[in-house]
Structure 1
Amino acid sequence: MADLSDSILLAAAAIPSGRVSSYGDLAKVVGCGPRLVARVLSTSGGSTCWWRVVRSDGTIAAPYVVEASELLAGEGVVVRDGRVEMARFRAEL
């Protein structure tokens, strides 16, 4: 499990500034499910750029909307009503 967690954190860290990825995108890269990606990111203690990972429809998880929106805006990512335009800001992994 530790190796899988490390792989998830490394994949998230590879998302470039100004881009986002979905939980499912990272899950495909790593070879696990999106819920595991979410759990690892939520328990990582902020050790990676968690704010660059959003739901597949571009929405940000409710408890993190304000903080993630501010961090993303600082990178030039537009967030409207808690949602990122995936077609415009999705990273190629």
Structure 2
Amino acid sequence: MLGVYQRIYTLVMGVPRGKVATYGQIAKLAGCSARQAGYAMAVAPTDTVPWHRVINSRGQISIRSDGLIDAEQQRLLDNEGIQFDSKGRVDLIRFQWQGPDQSWWADQMLDPPLI
């Protein structure tokens, strides 16, 4: 059985290019809190986990501890065709990943959440 951080990372690796997921969405699928998902993303291995595809529930890039927006995250999302409005928000109706289907869970050898 995978630890919660690895489950979070596996889910985030399933978010396709050009889509985003929210911390809460990943948390619900991973069976943890949004805060725990945020902690996991803060220490995610950046070479394998597309950390930049996880944003907050308002459709925004979360503010860093120094009070600034992560320009690298915005650049990576821009490069994937994710569009931001004038207030720095992503249209979640258009760009939010709808989550894995049953076959994805089976392929990953994971049990889907009981939601």
TM over 0.5: yes
Identity of aligned residues (%): 29
- Give the stretch that moved more between structures: 62-71 or 33-42: 62-71
Q: 1:40 is paired with a residue of what secondary structure?
A: helix
CA distance in 2, matches of 1:53, 1:74: 15
CA distance in 2, matches of 1:78, 1:26: 21
Query: Does 1 or 2 have the higher relative contact order (CA < 8 Å, sep 6+)?
Result: 1
Unaligned runs of 5+ in 2: 100-115
Deviation at 1:7, TM superposition (A): 0.2
CA distance in 2, matches of 1:38, 1:51: 12
TM-score by length of 2: 0.74
Q: How many residues are paired up?
A: 92
Which of 84, 89, 92 aligns to 1:86? It is 92
What residue number does 2:113 align with? Answer: none
CA distance in 2, matches of 1:85, 1:74: 16
What residue number does 2:21 align with? Answer: 21
1:16–1:91 CA contact under 8 A, matched in 2? yes
CA distance in 1, matches of 2:8, 2:49: 10
Choose 1 or 2 for highest CA Rg. Answer: 2
What residue number does 1:74 align with? Answer: 79
Deviation at 1:73, TM superposition (A): 0.8
In the alignment, structure 1 residue 54 sits paired with structure 2 residue 55: yes
CA distance in 2, matches of 1:40, 1:9: 8
Deviation at 1:82, TM superposition (A): 2.7
